[in-house]
């Protein structure tokens, strides 16, 4: 359901990298002036430390004079794409300084808001988790007099969260193992006689039950009807239980399932379509299909009590414009939420047809039901966890 | 006649007592910063943890967090896996670490120092890097499998990672120094004359080892083993990466509980149970082992 839940460790790793980068940045700004000094007093660590401290104080005061926003997203190839298509150009055009971080989803926002230590200004959660966050009151209401959604698809923004990309949860297979005759639907994915080999599946319940229930013979349009009871949920989990001996890895992040497929560690995996495309671009022998895939979207939101709320609103308004959204598909196969992005001529016909949001692809897929997750997430998650520990 | 001396000695005793009280007060004064620190960073947070674990989702006092642990079968399994993994890791660490520490203790000091540096070397590399390195080495098309298959050691790739094997390999690698260092320390502190004396009395080298050397080295070994075991109980990164999502430990469940239930109570309750179980194990261990010796460092 969410674009990717980078592991906490991934996040920590990147946090450290961000800190290192900012130190480097400060170093670069100041290094020219202090270069000779460094050479002369090479061994005097104390002075260096003092200089670094002084530099950081100077840098902080300089920063305070311009607008800054801290943006948190999912890392990996997805955030790279966001950075190139949205964040960096928008920063250049608006003069807002952008500090990027990676996060583990709404749970991180929840921790920040409930502990009163909010550092993120803009976050990029999945629509479902944002809906839950909005219900809990941990998000700021978006100001649609600033953010222009007149050309947006009507169901891709809410009061608290404005859509940025449309993505799909798909099944991918290794073309070395299965050739082009890969699985045609979820039933094939679950069929280890017809398609012998190892699988990877999500470690969380989000986007895990829908495929299983379809594999068990439920028609795509009835998925959420059947899952709307504890028996239905157990039926789906039983299907996964059957497959479990063949599931080598339960993945926890988009970067992970992309890596698993690229390395040939597993023969098939569920996952987010854009990540698989990037992995294939890096030489992975991977294909995926939109048939019976789960259609979902990611959005931008502002945590309650964000330190730079107004700048954040302005920044979100900027990156929601079609001239930014139309660049995203160049880096990762995720579709725009602003319909006007198709009109700018930046997205060619072939690319448009490959996106999860193209009309032909949409027709093949099952839209994720936010209402179902609101009602059943906890129950389903508990049962799913129980199955995982068996 | 006899009254004055008594008063004197009474005075004297009272003076001594006063001095003693004063000294205790002074010592307490000296210790107070440390005591305050322990209060602030240990007693209060742990107390808070206990308190929060009894707060339900609606904010009132409730036992629901503990009830859930009893009702849902997964919790018992997770605790079992956690203790199983910790126990196995500790056992393997002892099997590998003790002989290595023994070998190092026999080496001339210069060589032993070199060995110590290599033992410590992993400490200077990030835990994440080491964990991911194992993943790269041991995965299906990783270096070890490719190499072994190319020279014909085995035909099908062996499953080293994304299971219990991988978790244990990674954890043993990271925990080994924690076992070796105290064991080595205890071994170095053993007076060589004891061994000479035992062979002088006719003991074979094997007998001398088992009846003299080994018992003298156990305080260090136990201290190391205990440290490894306790650290393993709360380990998160390595099992999360190398376990393939199938080896689920308490630490991972704490994370998923925070994400799922949104309140700290559910996660705190897990922390409390782990803490209580660990304390009980330490208490039972203290019935059989001499803790004072361990903390004292060997002699």
Q: Tell me how close the Cα of B74 comes to any Cα of chain A, in angstroms.
A: 5
- How many angstroms separate the CA atoms of A30 and B240, rounded? 40
Going by the DSSP 8-state scheme, the letter that residue A250 receives in this structure is: E
CB contact under 8 A, B259 and A249: no
* Residue A244 pLDDT greater than 50, yes or no: yes
Sheet holding A68-73, edge to edge: A97-102, A68-73, A122-123
Helix (H) or strand (E) holding A72: strand A68-73
Q: Token digits for B189?
A: 């502190």
Angle between helices B64-71 and B264-288 (to 10 degrees): 70
pLDDT at A315: 96
Whether residue B258 and residue A9 make contact (CB cut-off 8 A), yes or no, is no
Chain A, window 94-113: residues with a beta carbon less than 8 angstroms from a chain B beta carbon = 104-105, 107, 110-111
Q: Which of residues 216-255 of A touch B (CB under 8 A)?
A: 248-252
Q: Parallel, antiparallel, or unpaired for β A335-336 and A162-174?
A: antiparallel
Q: Are A282 and A116 in contact (CB under 8 A)?
A: no
Interval B257-262 mean pLDDT:
76
Residue B71: which pLDDT band, with cuts at 50, 70 and 90? Answer: confident
Class of domain A167-297+360-389: alpha beta
Compute, in degrees rounded to 10, the torsion defined by CA atoms A236, A238, A239, A243.
Answer: 140
Packing angle between helix B264-288 and helix B73-106, nearest 10 degrees? 50
pLDDT at A378: 84
Of B113, B102, B111, B109, nearest in space to B195 by CA: B102
Helix axes B214-233, B264-288, angle to 10 degrees: 170
Q: What is the average pLDDT score of chain A?
A: 86
Torsion of CA A339, A342, A343, A346, to 10 degrees: 140
- In this prediction, residues A62-78 reach a mean pLDDT of 81
User: CA nearest A385 in B: which residue?
Assistant: B74
CB contact under 8 A, B245 and A378: no
Arithmetic mean of pLDDT over chain B:
88
Span B73-296: which CATH code? 1.10.3720.10
pLDDT tens for B27-38 read 889 999 999 999
pLDDT band at residue B228 under the 50/70/90 scheme = very high
Taking CB atoms and an 8 Å limit, are B244 and A388 in contact across chains?
no
Helices (H) and strands (E) in chain B, counts: 15, 0
A263 has a chain B CB within 8 A of its CB: yes
From the list B272, B277, B253, the residue with the least C-alpha distance to B55 is: B272
Give the A:B interface size as CB pairs under 8 Å. Answer: 66
Q: pTM of the predicted model, to two decimals? A: 0.79
Percentage helix, strand, coil for chain B under 3-state DSSP, each rounded to 5: 80, 0, 20
Q: What is the dihedral of CA B86, B87, B88, B91, to 10 degrees?
A: 120
- Region of residue A95 (phi > 0: left; psi between -120 and 50: alpha; otherwise: beta): left
Among A5, A9, A108, most B C-beta atoms within 10 A, so best to mutate, is: A9
Look up the CATH architecture of domain A8-19+68-165+298-354. Answer: 3-Layer(aba) Sandwich (3.40)
Tell me phi and psi for residue A4, to 5 degrees: -170, 140
* Residue A153 in tokens: 């698809």
Torsion of CA A319, A323, A325, A327, to 10 degrees: -120
Reported ipTM: the value is 0.80
Measured CA to CA, the distance from residue A336 to residue A338 in angstroms comes to 5
CA-CA-CA-CA torsion sign (A8, A11, A17, A22): negative
Q: Rounded to 5 degrees, what are φ and ψ at A73?
A: -140, -165
Output the CA angle A247-A249-A251, nearest 5 degrees: 120
> How would residue A210 be classed by pLDDT, with cut points 50, 70 and 90?
very high
pLDDT at res. B281? 85
Neighbour count for residue A190 (Cβ, 10 Å): 23
- 3 state DSSP class of A163: strand
Contact between chains at A250 and B244 (C-beta distance less than 8 A) = yes
- Mean pLDDT score, B123-128: 87
B241/A9 CB distance under 8 A: yes
The reported pLDDT for the residue numbered B276 is 93
| Apex B100 CA angle, B99 and B104, nearest 5 | 115
Average pLDDT rounded to a whole number, residues A17-32: 46
Looking at per-residue pLDDT, the higher value among A62 and B32 belongs to: B32
Element (H, E) at A71: strand A68-73
Q: What's the pLDDT score for residue A115?
A: 85
Helices (H), B121-263: 127-138, 143-150, 164-188, 192-200, 205-208, 214-233, 237-242, 250-261
Structure tokens of A78? 């997805």
Of A251, A378, A388, the CB nearest to B248: A388
Residues of chain A in contact with residue B259, where contact means CB-CB under 8 angstroms, are 104-105, 107
CA distance A190 to A183: 9
Query: Of B157, B162, B251, B255, which to mutate for an interface test with A (greatest number of A Cβ within 10 Å)?
Result: B162
Query: What pLDDT is attached to residue B299?
Result: 40
- pLDDT category at A182 given cuts 50, 70, 90 is very high
| pLDDT, tens digit, 9 for 90 and up, residues A281-323 | 999 999 999 999 999 999 999 999 999 999 999 999 999 999 9
Residues on chain B touching A13 (C-beta within 8 angstroms)? 128
Is a pLDDT exceeding 80 seen at residue A28?
Answer: no
List chain B residues with CB under 8 Å of A128: none
Query: H-type helices in chain A, by residue range?
Result: 8-40, 45-65, 76-82, 88-94, 106-115, 127-136, 175-178, 186-190, 209-215, 223-226, 230-243, 254-262, 273-281, 309-319, 322-325, 328-331, 349-354, 359-364, 370-389
Q: Count Cα neighbours of B53 within 13 Å in the Cβ-side half-sphere.
A: 21
Q: How many residues does chain A have?
A: 390
- The domains of chain A are located at 8-19+68-165+298-354, 167-297+360-389
Residues of chain B with Cβ-Cβ distance to A390 below 8 Å are 77
Domains A8-19+68-165+298-354 and A167-297+360-389 share a fold: yes
- Least Cα separation, residue A212 to chain B (angstroms): 18
Residue B125: per-residue pLDDT:
86
Judge contact between A98 and A315, C-beta under 8 A. Answer: yes
The pLDDT tens digits for B205-227 are: 999 999 999 999 998 999 899 99
Which residues face B148 on adjacent strands? none
pLDDT at A56: 56
Residues 6+ apart with CB under 8 A from A378: B260, B261
| Cα-to-chain-centroid distance, residue B275 | 13
Is a pLDDT exceeding 70 seen at residue A184?
yes
In three-state secondary structure terms, A228 is coil
List residues bridging with A199 in a β-sheet.
A247, A268
């Amino acid at each position: 359901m969410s674009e990717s839940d980078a592991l906490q460790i991934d996040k920590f790793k990147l946090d450290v990298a961000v800190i290192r980068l900012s130190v480097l940045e400060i170093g670069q700004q100041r290094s020219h002036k202090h270069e000779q000094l460094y050479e002369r007093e090479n061994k005097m660590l104390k002075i260096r430390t003092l200089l670094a401290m002084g530099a950081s104080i100077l840098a902080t005061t300089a920063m305070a004079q311009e607008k800054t926003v801290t943006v948190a997203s999912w890392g990996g190839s997805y955030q790279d794409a966001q950075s190139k298509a949205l964040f960096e150009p928008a920063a250049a055009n608006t003069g807002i300084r952008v500090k990027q971080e990676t996060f583990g989803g709404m749970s991180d926002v929840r921790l920040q808001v409930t502990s009163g230590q909010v550092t993120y200004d803009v976050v990029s959660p999945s629509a479902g988790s944002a809906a839950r966050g909005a219900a809990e009151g941990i998000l700021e209401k978006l100001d649609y007099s600033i953010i222009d959604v007149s050309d947006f698809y009507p169901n891709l923004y809410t009061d608290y969260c404005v859509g940025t990309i449309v993505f799909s949860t798909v099944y991918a297979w290794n073309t070395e193992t299965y050739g082009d005759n890969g699985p045609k639907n979820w039933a094939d994915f679950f069929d280890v006689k017809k398609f012998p080999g190892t699988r990877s599946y999500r470690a969380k319940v989000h986007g895990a039950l829908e495929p299983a229930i379809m594999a068990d013979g439920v028609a795509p349009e009835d998925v959420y009807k059947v899952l709307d009871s504890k028996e239905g949920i157990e039926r789906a989990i039983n299907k996964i239980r059957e497959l479990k001996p063949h599931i080598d890895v339960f993945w926890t992040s988009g970067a992970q399932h992309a890596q698993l497929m690229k390395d040939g560690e597993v023969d098939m995996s569920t996952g987010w379509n854009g990540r698989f495309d990037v992995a294939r671009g890096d030489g992975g022998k991977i294909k995926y299909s939109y048939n019976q895939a789960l259609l979902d979207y990611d959005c931008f939101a502002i945590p309650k009590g964000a330190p730079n709320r107004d700048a954040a609103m302005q920044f979100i308004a900027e990156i929601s414009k079609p001239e930014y959204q139309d660049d995203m598909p160049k880096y990762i196969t995720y579709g725009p939420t602003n319909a006007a992005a198709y009109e700018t001529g930046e997205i060619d016909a072939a690319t448009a047809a490959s996106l999860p949001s193209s009309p032909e692809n949409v027709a093949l897929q099952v839209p994720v039901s936010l209402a179902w997750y609101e009602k059943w997430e906890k129950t389903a998650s508990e049962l799913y966890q129980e199955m995982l520990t068996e | 006649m006899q009254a004055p001396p008594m008063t004197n000695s009474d005075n004297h005793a009272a003076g001594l007592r006063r001095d003693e009280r004063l000294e205790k007060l002074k010592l307490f004064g000296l210790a107070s910063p440390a005591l305050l620190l322990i209060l602030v960073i240990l007693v209060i947070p742990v107390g808070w943890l206990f308190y929060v674990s009894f707060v339900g989702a609606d904010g009132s006092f409730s036992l629901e967090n503990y009830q859930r642990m009893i009702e849902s079968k997964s919790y018992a399994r997770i605790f079992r896996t956690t203790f199983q993994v910790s126990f196995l890791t500790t056992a393997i660490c002892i099997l590998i670490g003790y002989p290595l520490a023994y070998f190092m203790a026999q080496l001339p000091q210069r060589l032993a120092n070199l060995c110590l540096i290599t033992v410590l070397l992993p400490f200077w590399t990030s835990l994440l890097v080491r964990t991911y390195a194992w993943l790269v080495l041991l995965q299906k098309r990783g270096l070890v499998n490719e190499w072994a298959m190319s020279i014909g050691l085995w035909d099908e790739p062996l499953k080293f990672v994304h299971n219990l094997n991988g978790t244990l390999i990674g954890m043993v690698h990271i925990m080994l120094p924690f076992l070796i260092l105290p064991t080595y320390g205890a071994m170095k502190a053993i007076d060589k004359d004891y061994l000479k004396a035992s062979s002088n009395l006719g003991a074979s080298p094997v007998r001398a080892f088992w009846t003299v050397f080994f018992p003298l080295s156990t305080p260090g070994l136990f201290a190391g083993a205990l440290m490894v075991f306790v650290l393993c109980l709360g380990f998160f990164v390595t099992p999360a990466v190398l376990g393939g999502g199938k080896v689920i430990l308490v630490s991972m469940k704490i994370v998923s509980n925070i994400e799922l239930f949104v309140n700290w109570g559910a996660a705190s309750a897990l922390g409390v149970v782990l803490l209580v179980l660990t304390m009980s194990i330490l208490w039972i261990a203290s019935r059989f082992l001499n803790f004072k010796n361990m903390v004292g460092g060997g002699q």
